[in-house]
Amino acid sequence: MTDIAIKGGETLLDGEFHETSLRIAGRDIVAVGSEQERASFGIDAGGLKVLPGIVDLHGDAFERQMMPRAGVDFPVDVALVDSDRQAIANGITTVFHATTWSWEPGLRSAENARQLLEAIEALRPQLAADTRFHLRHETYNLDAETGIARWLAEGRIDLFAFNDHMDSTVADLAKPHKRSRMVERTGLCSEAFDDLVASVVCRGHDVPASIARLANAARAAGVRMLSHDDDSPAMRKAFRDQGVGIAEFPVNEETAREAAAAGDFIVFGAPNVVRGGSHTGWTRAADMIAKGLCSVLASDYYYPAPLLAAFRLAADGVLPLARAWDLISAAPARAAGFADRGVLAEGRRADILLVDDVVPLRPRIIGVIAAGRLVHLTDADRLIRFAATSRETVAAA
């Protein structure tokens, strides 16, 4: 077992920054303010922020590694390994791959969902980030119900979301650019896609009962649930009544207020904060955060966004950095049901970031420790070897 010490740096502890040290043994933080010489080696964090690793509840940027261009596929295992490197390099130490199982063929098909789940399960031991499976179920995909219920019962799903993009899909049929993108993603010809949409829409009367059965299956399995793009307080309440305690991207303030009043977790996209607004023209996340109507930020479609968003919120005076960091670390950990991560404290999992924040709005990841392993380091001069009576800097290879 390797012991690691982190010397100095401004460390986020109990909501405040303190200049101190941490000692890691195995997977956990075993001491705060410990003597450095007791470790095998250390890292000089002077001048850096020492922060808990990012917990990302919803990220689908891995789809770009699977299909970097429409109709251009790469092996799922290759895509996952590359996505893992990207997540870690951006400070994400716990990543939920938000995988859509839709009624569509192609990228969001049943076969792709199965392949991705199996690849995550097979590769998980060798990936640096703790990699989890977040299944996004398109509620009109009624034929998937039996398979999803089985996966839930088998404990293979870590988060389960209800998605309904049918109205927007039908509306986008009349928009040439969006229509073309949807059709290309499925690999169908235009006429076949129209026929498929028509056949799915006509089964809408069966959707509410299917949602209820799957919500019951998720509750029985102890899997936390999300509802996506809630567009009214009534919709949010209906999902909450079925045990769905996480509101993911509510589309208006009225719905977010209803969720907050009930104590639900409320997720918005970190890219929304970084860009200054939603790319869809919906709710501005920074405004929701300022009003206390957002408890979690997720990478959504861009892995660098959570890190950038936290520092953007601090720079803009929306929240102090310590509170902004809670949105991407401690709060998502609580939402996912993790008690072992999200904060830096004795006995917690050693998911730790070293961040250079000298350049405003451009924080830079210097080092990442995930489950007690040093998995990313951009400055080898910061490594320290502890001898019996002295320390010496380890020369860069």
Residue with tokens 């690999």: 187
In the chain, DSSP assigns E strands to 3-7, 10-13, 16-19, 22-25, 28-32, 41-44, 49-52, 54-59, 92-101, 130-138, 159-163, 224-228, 246-248, 265-269, 296-298, 352-356, 364-370, 373-377, 383-386, 391-393
Q: What band does 391 get if pLDDT is binned at 50, 70 and 90? A: very low
**What is the residue whose two structure tokens read 């489950």?**
371
Cβ–Cβ < 8 Å for 22, 10: no
Could you read off the pLDDT of 51-65 as tens digits, one per residue? 999 999 999 988 888
In the structure encoding, which two tokens stand for residue 141, read together? 């995909």
**Strand-pair partners of 354:** 50, 367
Give the pLDDT score at 40: 81
| Dihedral sign computed on CA atoms, order 247, 252, 255, 257 | positive
pLDDT at 280 over 80: no
What is residue 168's predicted lDDT score, i.e. its pLDDT? Answer: 79
Q: Which two tokens stand for residue 151?
A: 């996966």
Predicted confidence at residue 37, as pLDDT, reads: 55
Which residue do the tokens 């400055």 mark?
Answer: 379
Asked if 322 and 12 touch (Cβ cutoff 8 Å), the reply is yes
Average pLDDT of the residues in 98-111: 89
209-228 average pLDDT score: 98
Domains of the chain: 3-52+343-393 (2.30.40.10), 54-336 (3.20.20.140)
Over 90: is that where the pLDDT of 167 sits?
Answer: no
pLDDT in tens, 316-359: 999 999 999 999 999 999 999 999 999 999 999 999 999 999 99
